[in-house]
Amino acid sequence: MTERLVTIQNRAGVHARPAALIVQTASKFKSQIFFEKGSDRINGKSIMGILAMGAAFNTVLKIITDGEDEELAANALEELINNRFEGE
């Protein structure tokens, strides 16, 4: 299992476009992927879950990946979020 802390840095937070990019990126990997915000754990491959998470600007999230490509998945999602969902 791999865990990473990231902070949402884009001013608009995680709205429809960033949520779609998160799910699109997460779906490329075989590992299980979750995001934790406070005590809530959300499936990283569920667009409804990501949207419902309500991650605004400066929200700290924990990325949790578990499986054969967990490091690659964690790296890709961390990079996506740290780049403010740009460069895809």
**Distance, C-alpha 70 to centroid of its chain:** 13
H or E element that contains 57: none
* Distance (Å, whole) CA 85 – CA 21: 7
Verify whether residue 15 is a known catalytic residue.
yes
Residue 63 is which amino acid? I
Q: Which of 3, 5, 7, 15 is catalytic?
A: 15
Hey, which residues are catalytic here? 15
